[in-house]
Amino acid sequence: MRDIREKIRQEVQALTEQANAAQEAKAQRRVTVRSVQRSARMEGQPVSAQTAALLDRYAEGTLSSDDVLRQLDQRYKR
């Protein structure tokens, strides 16, 4: 019985650590997005609504940085 409890405790701990790491990564992506938006505004070129939507998806973790760069490259190569 003790082995089962210990195994469950270890699994819960591992899942908690994974969740915390995911939250930290999301928070860091948010900081990065805010920094990009702030820098763009300071340079007098605020990001478009379409780019802001891309950055939001990146911050949420649904797009990787490579995906964002690829989409921006495609948009501005025209």
Range of the domain at 26: 2-76
Residue 35 belongs to a domain with what CATH number? 1.10.8
Other Cβ atoms less than 10 A from the Cβ of 55: the count is 21
* DSSP assignments along the chain, one per residue: -HHHHHHHHHHHHHHHHHHHHHHHHHHHHHHHHHHHHHHHHHTT-PPPHHHHHHHHHHHHTSS-HHHHHHHHHHHH--
Q: Quote the pLDDT of residue 61.
A: 92
What is the number of domains present in the chain? 1
Per DSSP, 61 falls in state T
pLDDT in tens, the chain (78 residues): 789 999 999 999 999 999 999 999 999 999 999 999 999 999 999 999 999 999 999 999 999 999 999 999 998 886
Q: What pTM value is reported for the model?
A: 0.76
